[in-house]
Amino acid sequence: MNGLSRWMVRLYPREWRERYEEEFLEMLEERTVSFPGCLDIALGALDAWMRPQIVSSGGMTRMLERLRWSVLGVLWGWVLFVLAGVGFQKMTEYDDFVQVAQRNFLVRSAFDAIVAGAWLSFAAILIGGLPIVFVALKSAFTQRRREVMLLFLVPPLSLGAFVGYVLLLTRIVYPAEGRMTIHSSPNIALFSSIVAVFVLAAVASTAAVCRAVTHAAVGENLYRFAFYPAVLAAGAMCVGLISVVVWGVALKVQAPALFGGDGGILATSTAATWLSVVLGMALSTGLAAVAIIRGFSPRAASRTTDT
């Protein structure tokens, strides 16, 4: 009957299962469920459908969920920020931009501030995120939760897939194609495919890690701790965003030909690439800022509970 009773949990509404399924299944594992027990589960499911308001996201649980949403929201924002930042890095790695930065103090300072903000936010994400990942992995191993462990395999597999794809293109496809002009269709298609695989790998990795830590047993204290680095990361992202804006404006003033030229990604407009980067960074920083603002509320509540 236990297999049946476990299956019957699916009869409950989604909201109920999100809140109680894990502990409910844990309880069912510890005792033999008789036929009347199965009937009781069916009646419980019917009751949950008829009175959905009984499912509470209650005090501490709500607090944990909001805090977790906040920390993971900053992580998502940071990953999107990095994707935009990679575009910026790709554009500015060429000699024209390096030389302008060497000649002009404001352009160089803005670029240095972007790099500093990137490293600071990376360090903050590591400081806040590694303890959560460690505890989630540890609990997944001790509880033998294969689904959580498999989710943690997604980032290395994604990285492997991306590296493998780039190697395939650079070692086999590009040499086979011979010389291609930058604006040729094959070149644009291949470059776009690299970008697509990179974005897909980053998004899949982030989604997998978020899902894993959400389903693993990670306590409130770790999220409360991670909130401080998350604030730092969001602040560093703000610095990075402002610096990219300053960099673009300074470039427009100091090197108008380069700013108005086709120094952007795939030899497109520099200004358009810069604007795309600014837009991407603004959206990701906005996401992180919203997550932080939402996170402040449960922190205040938990301090009240502690006293």
Q: Applying CB under 8 A, which of residues 160, 164, 186, 219 lies at the interface with another protein?
A: 219
Within positions 117 to 136, which residues make up the interface with another protein, using CB under 8 A?
135
Tell me how crowded residue 188 is: count the other CB atoms within 10 A of its CB.
Answer: 13
Alpha-carbon dihedral sign for residues 46, 49, 50, 56? positive
Q: How far is the CB of 231 from another protein (least distance, A)?
A: 22
Within positions 134 to 163, which residues make up the interface with another protein, using CB under 8 A?
135, 139, 143
Q: Applying CB under 8 A, which of residues 7, 10, 18, 39 lies at the interface with another protein?
A: 39
Q: Applying CB under 8 A, which of residues 24, 78, 227, 259 lies at the interface with another protein?
A: 24
If you write DSSP's letter for every residue of 114-134 in order, what string do you get? HHHHHHHHHHHHHHHHHHHHH
Encoded tokens for 206: 């982030």
Q: Applying CB under 8 A, which of residues 60, 130, 159, 167 lies at the interface with another protein?
A: 60
For the chain, state the CA radius of gyration.
25
Question: Exposed (0-12), middle (13-18) or buried (19+): which is 287, by Cβ within 10 Å?
Answer: buried
Residue with tokens 């805090």: 67
Asked whether position 169 contacts another protein by CB under 8 A, the answer is: no
Q: Which stretch binds another protein (CB under 8 A): 25-33, 176-184, 206-214, 289-297?
A: 25-33
Phi, psi of 4 (to 5 degrees): -65, -45
Q: To 5 degrees, how large is the angle CA 121–CA 66–CA 54? A: 165
Q: What is the DSSP letter of 12?
A: S
Q: How far is the CB of 5 from another protein (least distance, A)?
A: 7
Encoded tokens for 124: 């903050």
Residue 83 or 136: which CB sits closer to another protein?
136
Asked whether position 172 contacts another protein by CB under 8 A, the answer is: no
Q: Which stretch binds another protein (CB under 8 A): 22-30, 70-78, 244-252, 259-267?
A: 22-30
Judge whether 121 and 236 are in contact, CB under 8 Å: yes
Asked whether position 27 contacts another protein by CB under 8 A, the answer is: yes
Q: Applying CB under 8 A, which of residues 3, 36, 175, 178 lies at the interface with another protein?
A: 36
Measured CA to CA, the distance from residue 279 to residue 285 in angstroms comes to 10
Q: Applying CB under 8 A, which of residues 1, 13, 40, 113 lies at the interface with another protein?
A: 40
Encoded tokens for 100: 């302008």
Q: Burial letters for 57-67: b for 16+ Cβ neighbours within 10 Å, e otherwise?
A: eeeeeebbbbb
Q: Applying CB under 8 A, which of residues 17, 41, 72, 79 lies at the interface with another protein?
A: 41
Binding footprint of another protein on the chain (CB under 8 A)? 5, 16, 19-20, 22-24, 26-28, 30-31, 33, 36-37, 39-45, 47-48, 53-56, 58-61, 64, 135, 139, 143, 217-220
